[in-house]
Amino acid sequence: MTDSLFSSLSLRGTELSNRIMVSPMCQYSSTDGLANDWHLVHLGSRAVGGASIVMTEATAVSPEGRISPNDLGIWSDEHAEALERTTTFVKSMDSVPAIQLAHAGRKGSKSRPWDGSEPVFPDEGGWNPVAPSDVPWPYEGDAPELHELSTEEVGDVVEEFRVAAERALDAGFEIAEVHAAHGYLLHEFLSPVTNHRDDEYGGSFENRTRIVREATEAVRDVWPDDKPVFVRISATDWLDDRESWDLDQSVRLSAALGELGADLIDVSAGGLHPDQQLPNTGPGYQVPYAELIREETGLRVGAVGGIRTARHADEIVRNGRADLAIVGREHLRDPYFALHAAQELDADAEWPPQYRRAVPRR
């Protein structure tokens, strides 16, 4: 049978009731990195809405791994405990709670988007961002001083991913995703635009990809064998006028990650530099990247980018272009996207009993 949006999917010992995942989307609503009622309601409502996987926003593995001082974190036991209410509720809705483990790198220590995304200095509650090389984000004005990581400190970052994964498991998460996309720290190591190192973490493809492989391996080492690990990558920097990270390298990296135990590649793009040249950003504009990685590696992939309708998401799965439809902004507009998609596609989906009186008749 042809897979569809409402086909089940097995990833190790995890059973998904459909192929819809809530994309990780920053909420900038934490204090000191702690989850609160906003996260419970935001993520919980998407579980009520029928998505099979509900993933947190980028969740920092260290305080300086945040994008803004308002980002979610998991660098202490207290942070893990604050997330337990959310994972418990998501699972009670028969959805799978997932966490994106992240480090913002040079893009850290800035204000929330609705406050201007401006640099936040240490005396204002910010910090000195870290990066592979002394190549700061090209702000127009002053910004906190950038710290170039030593070889030993790179190892410390890998360990932070390992410990964060252990805490995420204690908090009740069933899928862990390593964030290596969108110009954040791990992506900064991948791209020669931002990685000018001459140690074992810079130069060749093997060296530039080392930290991503090590972080993935560290997470896989502590994650149970019956639970999946995802990796999100930017398939391209969209910087064709210079030596940069591109789709061919993404295929090579994805294959290597699969050998290390990654179960799905979450394929996005861009975010490394403001000079990026975006393609036509119509519906599904990034799906071809996921499709190629799936074809070339045989790995399961998730597709993102402009997936706005049930029929489009269904076509992506039915045509074998991706195994998951990862839906972001449409889930902000409609927390019940999956339930509404099932109605539109005449598929079976379990509405919560509290809401069944409102289910439209077919």
CA distance 45 to 39: 10
CA distance 188 to 183: 6
In DSSP terms, 327 is beta-bridged to 22
Active-site residue among 28, 139, 184, 201? Answer: 184
- CA 219, 221, 226, 230 torsion-angle sign: positive
Surface-to-core class of residue 246, CB atoms within 10 Å of its CB (0-12 exposed, 13-18 middle, 19+ buried): middle
CA distance 290 to 301: 6
Q: Is residue 57 helix, strand or coil?
A: strand
Active site residue 184: yes
SS3 content of the chain, % helix, strand, coil (to 5): 40, 15, 45
Alpha carbon distances (Å) from 294 to 66, 177, 206, 301, 304: 31, 18, 21, 6, 14
Alpha carbon distances (Å) from 271 to 23, 88, 346: 16, 33, 37
Residues with a known catalytic role: 184
